[in-house]
Amino acid sequence: MPRTARAIPPPLELRCLTALWQLGEANVQAVRDHLAPQKPLAYTTVMTMLERLTRKRILERRKVGRSFLYRPLVSRDQIRALAVRELLDSLFDGDARALVDFLTGTSAVPSAAQPGAETEAERLDAALL
């Protein structure tokens, strides 16, 4: 089965993108330094992630001296919208109400239809019989 490209970047690319949202524009070393307290990464790893994001047109880069400066082309809210859409489509069959019900702890399925749920009448019948 062929793999399809996801709309949202994978976790390590997303970490680098998050760093750039906070930094605005930065070179590889600045992104690496920003990520170091939570996740120390090799310079070449960060460089690879930034290059992948550039190829996907999520970042743009410009040459300054001997290095490149990277800048996000998409906002955090754009990525969030893509992530929510992917979650909605893959786990909730595109039904936003089902997602909201799940997040709020309510259910779209009536309680009597849920496995193991008894109605008041069934509990009364069981107690009297």
Same-domain check for residues 63 and 29: yes
Q: How far is 27 from 70, CA to CA, in rounded Å?
A: 6
Same-domain check for residues 68 and 121: no
Query: At 7, is the pLDDT very low, low, confident or very high (cuts 50, 70, 90)?
Result: confident
**In terms of C-beta distances under 8 Å and separation of at least 24 residues, what long-range contacts does 18-23 make, across chains too?**
18/76, 20/59, 20/70, 20/71, 20/72, 21/72, 21/75, 21/76
Same-domain check for residues 84 and 129: no
Same-domain check for residues 87 and 101: no
Same-domain check for residues 100 and 83: no
Averaged pLDDT for residues 41-57: 97
Decide: pTM greater than 0.75.
no
Q: Tell me what percent of the residues of the chain surpass a pLDDT of 70.
A: 78
Same-domain check for residues 59 and 75: yes
Residue 107 three-state SS: coil
Same-domain check for residues 104 and 79: no
- Residue 63 is part of a domain; what is its CATH number? 1.10.10.10
Full domain range(s) for residue 10: 1-91
Say how many domains are in the chain. 2
Summarised one tens digit per residue, pLDDT across range 63-115 is 999 999 999 999 999 999 999 999 999 999 999 999 999 999 887 555 445 55
